[in-house]
Structure 1
Amino acid sequence: MSSNRPNGFSAAKAVVLSLGVCLSVGLTAEAPAQAASPTTAVARVTTVAAQHKLTRKQRNEHIAKPLVKKRWAHGYKKQFPCLVKLWNRESSWNHKAHNPWSGAYGIPQALPGKKMRSAGKDWKTNPATQIKWGLKYIKGRYKTPCGAWSHMRRTGWY
């Protein structure tokens, strides 16, 4: 079977290089102004994810990758796996995850969920908005995803 992706790229890894810039047959790089829109990026990633049969978890992880790279550029290779473990445990990367006992919501399990309004009006439905809020929260409270993951392992919460 022939592939139009660069050598070494799986369908999942080739989907998103950064918010707004997709690598896949039929998609082109967007102008920088369009790349800034999380809603546009999520719609584009969702379309590509459907074409490549990515799970919601894979799609949301791909949305997070460039945001983690931007925030922790020098430690990305160490920090991203910690974030994956943290949010696997919290929500399995489900942007609609809701804890009925605590009221925590979304990928980062914000408590209360409406805290994420500070990242965007679409905080209930947009994984990119939730991810941006969650990364800012982690940076402010734990400095890094590995710091948050370490705290989670010690206490059971972050």
Structure 2
Amino acid sequence: MLEGNRVSRISVRGFAVASATAVTTVGAVVGVASGSTQTPADNLEATADDATLLADIPAGQQAQVQTASLSQQADAQAIAADSAAKKSAEEAARKQAAEDAVSKQKAAEKAEKEAKERKEAEKVASRSASRDSSDFPTQGSYSIGEIQAMARQMVPADQFQCFSNIVDHESSWNYRATNASSGAYGLFQALPGSKMSSAGSDWQTNPATQIKWGLGYMDGRYGSPCGAWNFWQANHWY
């Protein structure tokens, strides 16, 4: 065994076999040239047997064996390092993907919250910007277009279509519409019509006063014109 170098016996033996094989090949060629009767195959077999008995190698060749062993160790270490680096990269990628998913979810929740807040703010602004019946000058008569224009300025924008649907079905925007059998009156066919006096004494002749009353009635009883319209669709009255 090699002292101090701690070269494995397998590595030494492998090197010895390879060296012996090379020497035997040269000897076989020389034998043939000199007329020897021993065949190359016999020489190879004898040399292999001799090689298996080598416990050590010549001191001059120890450095070569040691270099080969260190090269193998370096290759093994490089493979292990590559595997560790790949595993680390995969773990980092998984961690980053999880963090990105959480960030996207938080961003979506924030955007949804901000959109909801904007909608509420717009609703409040729309209500605060609504005009009162007293803001409109009185006239001797009003066209459907004028009545609808007043309603658009008094009813919140997001509720106007529902409001308009009810007026369409109740009076077709005729502020003087009268039900001959019941006595229901005005844009909303209030019964009796006099209940609209709570919004103004000119309830019979001023559509703005009727709009004010109708909007208050829908908000008070159904929460909003759309709430009233939902009820109307189910019952055909409100």
Equivalent in 129, 146, 167 of residue 87 of structure 1: 167
Q: What's the CA shift for 1:137? A: 0.4
Could you tell me how far 1:37 is from its partner in structure 2?
A: 2.7
Using the TM superposition, name which of 80-89 and 56-65 deviates more: 56-65
**1:137 and 1:91 mapped to 2: Cα distance?**
16
Tell me the C-alpha RMSD between the 2 structures. Answer: 2.5
The correspondence of residues 3-152 of structure 1 with structure 2, limited to 5 A, is: 19=131, 37-38=134-135, 40=137, 42-43=138-139, 56-69=143-156, 76-77=157-158, 79-152=159-232
TM-score by length of 1: 0.63
User: Which structure shows the higher helix fraction?
Assistant: 2
Relative to structure 1, is the Cα distance of residues 58 and 137 closer, same or farther in structure 2, using a 3 angstrom cutoff? Answer: same
1 or 2 for the larger relative contact order (CA 8 Å, sep ≥6)? 1
The CA deviation string for residues 99-145 of structure 1, in whole angstroms up to 9 with x for no partner, is: 11221100111110000111111100000000000000000001111
User: Match of 1:111, SS?
Assistant: coil
Unaligned runs of 5+ in 2: 1-128
Give the Cα–Cα distance (whole angstroms) in 1 for the partners of residues 133 and 150 of structure 2. Answer: 13
> Match for 1:61: what amino acid?
Q
> Cα offset for 1:36?
6.7
| 8 Å contact kept, 2:162–2:229 | yes
Shift of 1:39: 5.3
Q: Secondary structure at the match of 1:107?
A: coil
Aligned letter for 1:124?
Answer: Q
Opposite residue 196 of structure 2, the aligned amino acid is: M
Structure 1 residue runs of 4 or more that deviate by more than 3 Å after TM superposition: none
For structure 1, which runs of at least 5 residues remain unmatched after alignment?
A: 1-16, 20-34, 47-55, 70-75
The letter for the 2-side match of 1:129 is: T
Does structure 1 retain, via aligned residues, the 8 Å contact 2:171–2:188?
yes
Quote the sequence identity (%): 49
